[in-house]
Each structure stands twice: as C-alpha cells, then as structure tokens.
Amino acid sequence: MPVFTVVFLAALLATTLLRLWLARRHLRHVIGHRAAVPAVFRESITLEAHQKAADYTVAKLRLAFIEIAIGALFVLALTLGGILQALHSAWASVFAEGGYAHGIAFIAGIAVLSFVVDLPFTLYRTFVIEERFGFNKMTLRLWFIDLVKGTLLGAAIGLPVLLAVLWLMAQMSSYWWLHVWLFWMGFNLLVLLIYPTLIAPLFNKFSPLADESLKARIEALLARCGFRSSGLFVMDGSKRSAHGNAYFTGVGRAKRIVFFDTLLEKLRPEEIEAVLAHELGHYKRRHVWKRIGLLALASLGFLWLLGALIAEPWFYNGLGMASRNTAAALVLFSLVIPLFTFPLAPLMNALSRRHEYEADAYAAKQTQAGDLVAALVKLYRDNAATLTPDPLYSTFYDSHPPAAARIAHLRAS
C-alpha cells in the first residue's frame, strides 16, 4: 500500500472519530444539563424553553452522527473506491481528456454527486427537524424554486470561474498558483460588492425600513459611529424560517444594513439598536477586512501547497487516481485538505470569539449593555440555541462564545 494512502486513511479515520467523539460529548453534556436552567438565565429563560433548546440540539446531533459517517464513506468511495477515476474516464469518452471541457464536466459531476448525497440530510433537517420545532416556514415548492435559482446562479458564476482557474493552471507555468490566487481574491471582492444588490434579491425581498421612529434611532447610532450605508432594509426571512438575525453586507458605497423581519417582531427598539451596534463593532474594529486578510493568506498557502503536489505521482496514486491533470488535482486536494485542517478549527474559532467580544464591548459603549444582554437572551431563547454546550465541542465548532460567557463579559463591562 502506498505511503500516502496510509497517511490519508489515518487522517480520515482520526478526523471522523474525533468528530463523532465530540458530537457524543456534546450530546451527553446537553442531555445532562436539560433538567435545569443555568443560574444566570433563570430569570429570563423558562425551563420549557431551555428543554426545547436541548431537544432541538439533540435532534440535530443525532442527524450529524449519520452525516459524519456517510461523509467519510463518501470520501473513501470517491478516492480509493474508484468513483473519481471512473467518472474521469467516463467523461474522457465524451471530451478530450485533460481539456477544459473535460475538466469542467468532471468537477461538475462530482458536485452533482455531492449534492445527491447531501440531499436527504438537507430535506430531513428542513422539513423534519426545523418543522418539528416550529422554525421551518419553507414549502417544498419554495425549496425547489430556491434549488433551481441556486443551480442556475451557481452555473452562471461557477462555470466561468472554474474555466478561468483551469486556464490559469494550464497557461501560467510553475507559478500558476500565484495567478489563481490573485484571480480568486479579486473574484471574492467582486462578490462582496455585487452580492447586496444583484444576488441577494434573487432569493429574498428587501424593503426599506418603514418604522420612522426606529429608523431615526438607528440613523442616530450610525451618525455616532461614523458609519455610512446605502440604506436600511427589512428582509422577508419569515418566508423560510422563524430564526431571526441582522447583518450588514457589501463594501464601500454598497454597504447596506439588513434586518430579518422576524428580528423586528421579537425585539424592542433599544434592543434592535444594541444588536446593530454589535454588528457595527465588527466594522469599526475592521474584523471583516482582518478575516479577508486571513482568508487571503490561507488560500495562498493552500494554492502553493497544491502547486507543490500537482506534479507528484504519489499524490494521485495514493488517492486512487491513475489519471493526472489539473482538474483531478483540484478535486483530490479539496477532498483531503479538510481532513488535515480540522484540528486547526479551535484556532480559527478563538480568533472569531475574540472578535465577538470586541464587537460586544463596542456595542456596550454605544448603547446600554443591558439592552444587548436582553436582546441576546431573546435570540438564544427564540432560536432554541443551547445554553449548555460541551466546552470542547464548542471550542471546535462555535465561532461565537458560549452564551453564559458572553453575557458575563457584557455585564462586567
């Protein structure tokens, strides 16, 4: 057995077992704390709401056990099981092997297979779990419309991007990875610019904020924070889900502030202002640009690594591929790199949590900390977010601090 095959199998087994073990820890921890509301929340969260959040978390975890196992078997079937090679050879009978059309068809075929494998989980999560706990507002018709829109949009954007990447990999000699990186970063910045006005409206309706008193309150906050936006909008999130949120999106003059209609229904004006102040904290502390910079460094490193592997026979052979070309290398690399980077998840989440604390601190200076605490408690309750996550599981999976820790920081500010 090739050495890299052994390394790959070891990484696949270790990552899968680690994810299953973390999920089991989280399951046991949530069930173990289901009987009582944590002391810090007893005045604001009922036992019924706490138990609903626990049951909601448990239901998602039980599905996750199956999803993790099937995902690992799927990766194994694609690689050492020979599906990738079979699909690659099948398309070679239609298009010239190694050509752009062949590469695009091969990668698109893998995307379709991945969608088919994920489909039962997506449907069960939406129409069984979310439905059972009162969050799903999606109909099968709307789900199908979203699927068609997403597929057409993905093809319209993704196929030209994929063609450009394959062309750069073929034409730019040994430094192709640097050219692909520059193109990729430019593309991501372009998406940030056009998403609010061209892409998001394809899926949701955005209406100008009509509440004049709330609008005046928010505009006063924006003036204090020195933030300029292209408008305040309400999104019809209730068309798909009962979950609520708020965010700002875009760059430059395209920045816009968006509230889910479900959020406006549940929070008082001062609480909405505090939530928005938190989001503005991310902007003022330049968290978005810091994350873009980190993404740029990470993608550059990964592309350099792919550039070092793309000509190595052992890389293909170790993963069950006899054919060697840029498309095959892209697919293999995208399949195996998550196995080796999953242990780094706590580092990324630690940075994200630091940013959340900084944004909370900023919000506490611009508004009343108590208003943000009240808003967060309502969001935890209404979104059925567990108040008792397993600490180690949370370290690996949660980009936000645990509820108790976050509220303790706010109350101390």
Active site residues: 279, 360
Q: Distance between CA 218 and CA 398 in Å, rounded?
A: 29
- Amino acid identity at 217: R
Instruction: Name the helix (H) or strand (E) containing 234.
Output: strand 232-235
Q: Distance between CA 127 and CA 119 in Å, rounded?
A: 12
By residue count, the chain amounts to: 413
What's 96-129 look like in SS3? CCCCHHHHHHHHHHHHHHHHHHHHHHHHHHHHHH
Largest CA distance in the chain: 70
Which residue, 283, 151, 254, 246, is CA-closest to 196? 254
What letters, b where the CB count within 10 A reaches 16 and e where it falls short, cover 270-304? bbbbbbbbbbbbbbebebeeeebeeeeeebbebbe
| Paired residues of 207 in beta bridges | 234
Instruction: Name the helix (H) or strand (E) containing 397.
Output: helix 391-397
Strand order in the sheet with 256-260: 206-208, 232-235, 256-260, 246-249
Which residue, 262, 249, 238, is CA-closest to 142? 238
CB contact at 8 A, 404 and 387: yes
Q: Distance between CA 335 and CA 75 in Å, rounded?
A: 7
CB contact at 8 A, 271 and 378: yes
